[in-house]
Amino acid sequence: MVAFLFVVSIRALTCLIRAGMKIVRIIVTILLGVTMLPACKKGSKKDNSPSSEYYFIGTVNGSAVNWEASTTGDGWAAGSSAELPNDQGEISGEITALLTHYPGGHPQLGIEFKTFDKKADNDDAAAYFNSFVTTGSWAFSNTTDYTIGDKSVVIYYLDSNGKQYNSIGSQTGSNINIISATPTSGDAYNVDSGLKIKLSLNCTLYPVDGTGSSIKITNGQVTVFLDDMILNF
């Protein structure tokens, strides 16, 4: 029998809804630190260099964005969500890195990495997780399903009004490139172990409800935290 386990990292909670799929519980970890980093600022800095550990800069439909994660209880938060079915010790599914605005829960950017498949006889879950996200170009998935052996990404986006978009659809001319994936044992933004992933991104996003026009992310520069939720089993 397959047991579906959704991993929870406590501190703060938001939701990401995916087309044709059930609601996935989204976990965003916020650690209230002593150092107060800047909250979200409109527009980009003159040197275009974020001061935060985790961020999203670039343009969404031609408008400049500069989301920088904060260690305070408002502004932007870095965290993760997961859907990881456990079939008699074999753990497969996806983990999504998130940047989310608080307190409203949107806008939000999600970068889903799939399909994880840690076999029941693999005792070194940390090594498997750390080796999964490799540097270089990744493919955009054409489905929200999880297929063993498939290694791809899905981009999710909630706009300021809560309208949902994802990258399922034509991605001609689009690209996502993983620049680095560095294991981390936790920091001021996330208490858990995981990967600090730096990437560049250009893609088209389509409305999940099928109404309205597509939007584009261009010149995206992103650093996100992917929680090693496999270790929670």
Sole residue written with tokens 């932007």:
76
Helix residue ranges per DSSP H, 81-148: 125-132
CA distances from 152 to 15, 43, 69, 88, 166 (A): 22, 31, 25, 25, 14
Measured CA angle at 195 (ends 61, 184), to 5 deg? 135
CA distances from 190 to 35, 81, 122, 214, 233 (A): 14, 13, 26, 33, 19
Distance from the first to the final alpha carbon of the chain: 16
Measured CA angle at 85 (ends 13, 135), to 5 deg? 80
What total number of domains does the chain contain?
A: 1
Is residue 133 domain-resident?
yes
Q: What is the pLDDT of residues 178-206, one digit of tens each?
A: 999 999 987 788 888 999 999 999 999 99
Is residue 48 domain-resident?
no
Q: Structural domain of residue 94, as residue ranges? A: 2-31+53-232
Give the pLDDT band of residue 17 (cuts 50, 70, 90): very low
Q: What is the pLDDT of residues 71-104, one digit of tens each?
A: 887 899 999 999 999 998 899 999 999 999 988 8
